[in-house]
Copies of this chain bind each other. A is one copy, B any other.
Amino acid sequence: MVRRTKADALTTRTELLDAAERVFSSNGVANTSMMQVAEAAGVTRGAIYHHFQNKLDLINALMDRVKLPVDEMLEEIVQAHQDNPLAILKARCLHIIHQVEHDPHMQALINILLHKCEYVDDALPIHLRHLGGRNACIEESCILLDEAKKKGLIGADLNSQAIVLGLFSLVDGLMYNWLLDKSLFDLNSTAKQAIECYFKGLQA
């Protein structure tokens, strides 16, 4: 019913993203129509198609909003524990957990990726981004573990890649299960204990 200035348009865009986040989170991506997103944002489909090409483009925009802060934070961690590769690795895992627990946008997005979105060809760009970032993270972590091995912090017989994959799988699994039913357990304390346990098992 109304037309807007440039700034107002950006507001509309943001509201659309917020709405998409909510509706996708509760209905699932495939199960949500553009109409539903529009309604949740209080506009018509016209607004969506003006700002985004289609549902995929919308999801991509959702990811753009969230992904950046992650990498920045990681820098800090590295510097904080300069010479202790294991501490860096552990802090990273706990940081991810913390992000998912406390940043609502991150939580919604991860929830969508893990539970509300089928890993299927035409959704590929999204998942490729997710996996791309994560694979880089794994490689980097392998290096950290190798350093730890050199310093004698962990058993020399351990396979770095397997250990890293296990670690990230543990983190993934914790988020996966917690997002499935947040009332089932406390994410922070559970993650802390489980990750602690895993690291303890690494010692030589």
Contact = CB atoms under 8 A, between A and B. Distances in A.
Interface stretch (A25-33, A54-62, A67-75): A25-33
B177 A168 contact: yes
15 contacts: A27-B121, A30-B31, A158-B197, A162-B193, A165-B185, A166-B170, A166-B191, A169-B170, A169-B172, A169-B194, A170-B194, A170-B198, A173-B174, A197-B202, A200-B201
B185 A161 contact: yes
A180 B118 contact: no
A24 to B, nearest CB: 9
A15 to B, nearest CB: 23
A190 interface: yes
User: Chain A's interface: helix, strand, loop or mixed, by majority?
Assistant: helix
A105 interface: no
A116 B193 CA distance: 31
A49 interface: no
B115 A115 contact: no
Contacts of A47: none
Nearest to A135: B184
A193 B120 contact: no
B31 A120 contact: yes
Contacts of A118: 28-31, 115-118
